[in-house]
Amino acid sequence: MTTPADPEALVGGPLDALTTPCVVVDAPALEHNLRLLADYFATRHCKLRPHFKAHKCVELARRQLAAGSVTGITCAKLSEAEVLVEGGITDILIANEVVGAGKACRLADLARRATVRVAVDSAGNVEELDRAARSAGAVIGVLVEVDIGMNRCGVPPGRPTLTLASRVAEARNLRFDGLQGYEGHVVQQEDADARRRGALAAMALLMETKALLVGHGLAARIVSSGGTGTYDMTGNVDGVDEVQCGSYALMDACYKRIRPEFRVASFLLSTVVSSRGTKVVADVGTKGMGCEFGPPLVEGFPEAKVLYVADEHTPIENVRAEVGDRLRLIPSHGCTTHNLHRRMWVVRDGTVEAAWAVEGSGCLE
C-alpha cells in the first residue's frame, strides 16, 4: 500500500503508474451502480441509507447522497460516524449497539453536531445512553433492533421489543425513532427464490412487531432494514422505510454472483513478483485483501486457480504472465478489503482521475 507523498502527482497519469497493491475504482462502473439503485428507489416509498462500512470513503458517501433517493448514511461503528460528521455528513445511523460510558459520551457529543441514530437491544444500554445525552445536553435518536432471524444482536420480535421501545420512549434525552431488523442470514443466499422467501418471512416478523408498537401508541416512524442482496425484496415491503445497501456501489466477487445487474467497480491492482510457466505469484495477500468468502477472481483469466492466500503473496495457477506484469484481482469480500487500504485510485479509461482517502480505514471502535 505504499503511495507517493503527494498522491495528486499521479492524478492525470496512467493506471500502470500506480504502486501495487492498491485499490482501484472504475469510475464508469461506479456511476452505473449509483444510478441504478437511485433510479430504482426514486418512485418508491422506501429509500436508500447506504452503508459506509462497505467502502469507508467519505467522498464516495457524498456521491451516494448526491445520486438521490437517499435518506442518510449508515455506518457500523461510532468512530465511522465521527469520520462522517467530520466530513460534513449530517444524517447518520449507527446500525449497531454503542456500549460503554466513554463511547456513550462521544456519541452524545456527536448528536449535538448532527442527526445521529443508534441501535439498542438492552435496557442497560438505553439507560447508559440517556445519562450521557442528558449530561451533554443532547438528544440521541434510537432504533430498537429486532432479531428477525440472524441470531446476532436484537431483541426478540413482539412484546420484548415493545417493552424495550417503551423504555426508550420514556427516557428524557433519547428519541424513539423506530425499528431496525436485518435479514443478514439470507442476503447472500444464491437461490433468488429462497432469498426472497427468507427476506419476506423476516419482514413479516418486523411488520407484526411494528403493528404491535403502533397499537400501544408508539409510532415507529422509521423501519430500517435490507442490504444489496435483498434491495428489491425488502425494499418493496409495505412499512419498510429504508434499506442499508452497501456493497452495491463497488461490488465484490461474492455479491456479483447474485447481483449481476451491478458492475464490479473495485479491484486490487497487483504485480506479478514471481513467474514459473503458468504459475505466478501476486504481490498481495491477506494483509491487503479480504478473503472471508473465498479466494479472489483474476480478471481476464477465467481458468485461473488461486492456490492459497498468504500474508503478502497469492500464488495462482493457469495464468501466463511475466514478472512485472499487472493483474486485477476481484476480492471475494469488498468490505474487509477496503478497510485495509488508506486510499482509492479512481480511474476512467485507463487514466487516474482522482485519489480518494479511505478515512474510515481501521475505524473499529
Kindly report the three-state secondary structure assignment for every residue of 174-199: EEEEEEEECCCCCCCCCCHHHHHHHH
- Examine domains 7-25+260-357 and 72-240 and report if their fold is the same: no
Q: How far apart are CA 240 and CA 243, in angstroms?
A: 8
Q: Which amino acid is at 144?
A: V
Instruction: Specify the amino acid at residue 243.
Output: V
pTM summary value: 0.96
Q: Please list the ranges in the chain whose pLDDT falls under 50.
A: 1-2
**How far is 249 from 51, CA to CA, in rounded Å?**
10
Between CA 329 and CA 22 the distance in angstroms is: 10
Q: Residue 16 has what pLDDT?
A: 94
Q: What is the pLDDT of residue 7?
A: 83
Q: In terms of CATH architecture, what is 7-25+260-357?
A: Beta Barrel (2.40)
Cβ(231)–Cβ(199) below 8 Å: no
How is the chain split into domains, by residue range?
A: 7-25+260-357, 72-240
The pLDDT value given to residue 162? 98
User: pLDDT for 249-283, tens place per residue?
Assistant: 999 999 999 999 999 999 999 999 999 999 999 99
In the CATH scheme, what architecture does the domain 72-240 have? Alpha-Beta Barrel (3.20)
In the chain, which residue ranges form alpha helices assigned H by DSSP? 27-41, 58-67, 78-86, 101-111, 123-136, 159-170, 192-215, 231-234, 253-258, 334-338
State the pLDDT at residue 4: 54
Give the model's pLDDT for residue 241.
98
Burial of 228 (0-12, 13-18, 19+ CB in 10 A): buried
**Relative orientation angle of helices 58-67 and 27-41, to the nearest 10 degrees:** 40
3-state secondary structure of 224: strand
What integer pLDDT is reported at residue 110 of this predicted model? Answer: 98
Rounded to whole angstroms, what are the CA distances from 229 to 50, 254, 268? Answer: 13, 10, 23
Per DSSP, the three-state class of 52 is helix
Quick one: cell of 217?
401508541
Average per-residue pLDDT in the chain?
97
